[in-house]
Amino acid sequence: MTAIVVIAKECLPGKVKTRLHPPLSLEQAAELAAASLADTLTVASRLPATRQILAFDGVTPPPEAAGWEILAQTDGALDERLAAIFDHLDEPTLLLGMDTPQVSAALLAPVFSGWGDETDAWFGPANDGGFWALALKNPTGALLRGIPMSRPDTGGHQLHRLDRAGLTVGLLPSLTDIDTITDARAVASIAPHTRFARAFAGVRASARLQNADLVALSGARS
């Protein structure tokens, strides 16, 4: 069986999704981040995992993580923090980011259908060149430590590291990480059932109202 770990930051204004500002306010960006994390945790909760762990950078975990194990993230660069998570576990482990609210249990089903002898790892590439999921049959931080993160070639470096270690890797579908407003719009469009999509619709409606108020105010002053 497989453990699942969701890695996340506390969704506070100015601490998450800052590339959405502008055009969004820092408060709106944090609202979308919280919705994305809630969607991810909801999907993860439905998976037949042996353990549910939130690797958390913050003080107050989200309510969707009630009953989950909370693992404080270590200090250091992202590769070190990811490596520490895999060093912490002994059983097959799936690591998920918090930026793909369109993820579904069906997409992740192969990881939980039994590893057998033919698969040592699962890799979920992101469209920006990174990755949104990584599962290791025999977790070790050595497979991540030193990988350059947050770059267009991060996923390539990670796959090369797995290949060099002699692992057989199964590929999950490519997904869009939410980094920019264009990403947010695309994900909300393809996953309209999500909490993220509803939050994004609310943000857009608020922006339209604000623009209408500004136009009305400008007309009143002229």
Rounded to whole angstroms, how far apart are CA atoms 214 and 191?
Answer: 31
Which of 206, 214, 216, 183 minimizes the C-alpha distance to 25?
206
Q: Residue 42 burial (CB < 10 Å; 0-12/13-18/19+)?
A: middle
pLDDT at 211 over 90: no
The predicted pLDDT at position 28 comes to: 95
pLDDT at 12 over 70: yes
Residues 6+ apart with CB under 8 A from 202: none
Which of 72, 51, 47 minimizes the C-alpha distance to 61?
72
pLDDT at 219 over 90: no
pLDDT single digits (tens) 86-99:
999 999 999 999 99
The predicted pLDDT at position 50 comes to: 96
Domains and CATH numbers, the chain: 3-221 (3.90.550.10)
pLDDT at 221 over 70: no
The predicted pLDDT at position 215 comes to: 43
What is the sign of the dihedral through the CA atoms of 84, 88, 94 and 98?
Answer: negative
CA distances (Å), 95 to each of 7, 74, 84, 87, 187, in order?
Answer: 7, 15, 12, 12, 20
Q: Strand 52-57 vs strand 121-125: parallel, antiparallel, or unpaired?
A: unpaired
Which pTM value belongs to this model? 0.91
Rounded to whole angstroms, how far apart are CA atoms 47 and 108?
Answer: 8
How many percent of the chain have pLDDT more than 90?
Answer: 87
The predicted pLDDT at position 216 comes to: 44
pLDDT at 217 over 90: no
pLDDT single digits (tens) 96-142:
999 999 999 999 999 998 788 889 999 999 999 999 999 999 999 99
The predicted pLDDT at position 116 comes to: 80
